[in-house]
Structure 1
Amino acid sequence: MWLSCEVHGGVTTVSVAGEVDLSNAHLLAELLENVAGVRAPLVVVQLAEVTFFGAHGIEALVRARRLLTERGGKLVLHRPSRVVRRVLDVTGTLPGFEIVTRLPPDGVDHRPARPVAPGERGS
């Protein structure tokens, strides 16, 4: 899995790429919890490059959405891959997320996701 996080104005953009599974979903969860903890008004999670998405990834998104909502913020998913959409749909969690195809003007993330652990394929 590869992650990156940028803040532009009131928008925090978290980019995720690769496989989100049991071995690494805790890293996504920790990042999203940290972002939610700083009272970010809007968190955009870019998921277009996710190739596998397991139950722990769903849990990370649901928990972050709840934390942000409790603190007056909002979490949206930007262009989730077909894999992510299918998993969210099958589990019945898709309707709970706002899906966007365009980023807010001050939420443009120009940097690609990067590995969260050393290695040729990420973790």
Structure 2
Amino acid sequence: MSLSLTCVGSAKLINVSGEIDMSNAHLLTELVACACHSSAPPVITVDLSAVRFFSAHGVSALLEAQHIAVTTGAAFILRDPAPCATYLLATSGVLGDFRLNRGDGHRPRPRSTTVDLVTPARGDSLTSG
């Protein structure tokens, strides 16, 4: 999974690509929690358009991330969930619990603050040999 955070004022855009599974779903939740800590309640948009695999752990992570955002006064929006994410959110009965933005072209222009996080692919190691 790859995560990037782009900040425009109090608006935060988190782009997610790759696989969201049990090994990395918590990183998405942690990034949302960090993004919620600002002087003004932010709008957190999570772009899921580049997600290739989405597990039940991803569902849990998004529900937890939304809870964190709402309790801090932030708005939480899912943008363009990939078919695999939409399917699992719908079949688990929680798709309707999220505000969805389906490709209306509204993307905040990036400021100089961008953070890229990359987790190793399955089978890759974090240690060097």
Output the TM-score relative to the length of structure 1: 0.83
Q: 4+ runs of 1 displaced by more than 4 Å?
A: none
Unpaired stretches in structure 2, ≥5 consecutive residues: none
How many Å apart are 1:109 and its aligned residue?
A: 5.1
Distance 1:92 1:102 in 2: 24
Unpaired stretches in structure 1, ≥5 consecutive residues: none
| Secondary structure class of the residue paired with 1:92 | coil
Alignment of 1:71-82 (within 5 A): 71-82=72-83
Which residue of structure 2 aligns with residue 31 of structure 1?
A: 31
Which residue of structure 2 aligns with residue 12 of structure 1?
A: 12
| Secondary structure class of the residue paired with 2:76 | strand
Check whether the contact 2:5–2:116 (CA below 8 A) recurs between aligned residues.
no
Distance 1:122 1:97 in 2: 33
After superposition, the CA RMSD in angstroms is: 2.7
Check whether the contact 1:10–1:40 (CA below 8 A) recurs between aligned residues.
yes
Distance 2:117 2:67 in 1: 27
Indicate the structure with greater helix content: 1
Which residue of structure 1 aligns with residue 60 of structure 2?
A: 59
| Secondary structure class of the residue paired with 1:77 | strand
Output the TM-score relative to the length of structure 2: 0.79
How many Å apart are 1:66 and its aligned residue?
A: 1.1
| Secondary structure class of the residue paired with 2:93 | coil
Distance 1:74 1:43 in 2: 6
How many Å apart are 1:26 and its aligned residue?
A: 1.6
Which residue of structure 2 aligns with residue 83 of structure 1?
A: 84
| Secondary structure class of the residue paired with 1:86 | helix
Question: 1:33-81 CA deviation, whole Å, 9 max, x = no partner?
Answer: 2112336420000000101111111111111111211221111011000
Structure label with greater radius of gyration:
2
Change (3 A) 1:109 1:45: farther
Check whether the contact 1:78–1:103 (CA below 8 A) recurs between aligned residues.
no
Change (3 A) 1:15 1:109: farther
Percent identity of paired positions between Structure 1 and Structure 2 = 32
Check whether the contact 2:24–2:119 (CA below 8 A) recurs between aligned residues.
no
